[in-house]
A = this chain, B = another copy of it.
Amino acid sequence: MKYLVMKSLKPSVSALFAAATIISGSFIVVATSFADTGGKVAAPSSLNTTIVNKAIVENEVLDAQRAWGEALVAISTTYEKDGIETAKALAEKVIDEAYGYQFGTVLFKPTLTVAPHTFRTTRAGALSYFVGGDPDFPMDKGFALMGWRTVEIKNAAIFISGNTATTMGNVMLTDKDGKTTTVDKTWEFLKDDSGKLRIVLHHSSLPYTEE
C-alpha cells in the first residue's frame, strides 16, 4: 500500500502551453519565460515560471478516497494474516497519514458508534474504532477487522473550495463472504503543507430505514 504524496510544486507545462498558445492575431502575450529571445513567445526550454498550487483538484480527491478504501482492506487482510498487533500498527500508520488529527481534531462520526462515544475527535478514538481493544471505548469491536475485501465509492457530489474538498455519496463495502454494506458517507479533505490530502471530516451513517 502506497500513499501518494501529492506534489505541491507542479510544472503544469502542458497547461501553460495550452494557455500561452492563443494570441489570436492579437497583441496580448501571456508568456512564462524570461529567456525570451526577441521573438514573441519563448521556446519550451526556457519556461521558468514557478508555480505553487495549494488548491485541490478533482483527481487528488478521487485518489485520496481510493487510498482510504485500500487502507481499510489492507487492515482487514493484515489482521487475518498477521494478527491484531500488526493490524493495529498499520491502522495507526493509516490514521497518521490519512487523517488530520495533528491539526488538533478531526470531525469523525464513524458508522457504528453510539453515545457517549459517537464522535471520535481524538486519534485514540479513531484507532479504537478501527481495531478495538481500548477500554475507554468499550463498545468498539474493530470496524477494520471485519474481513473487508472491496470498497466501492460513488460520489453524488463534490465541493471544492480553496484548500479543501468535500465529497458526499455512497460507499459499498464487501467482506470476504461477499456480503455488501452500503453507507452514506461524507468526507472533507484538506491539502496540507506538504501537498498531501488529509481527512478533516468523516461522517458515515447507515441508510435510514423506515420502521
Chain A residues packing against B (C-beta within 8 Å)? 1-13, 15-16, 18-20, 22-23, 26-36, 40-41, 43-44, 46-60, 62-63, 65-66, 69-70, 73, 102-109, 111-116, 118-119, 121-122, 149-164, 166-170, 184, 186, 188, 190-193, 195, 200-201, 203, 205-210
Contact = CB atoms under 8 A, between A and B. Distances in A.
Given A41-B154, A109-B184, A150-B33, A159 B201 contact: yes
Contacts of A40: 150, 152
B50 A58 contact: no
A145 to B, nearest CB: 17
Contact of A118 (B6, B27, B107, B170): B170
A142 to B, nearest CB: 15
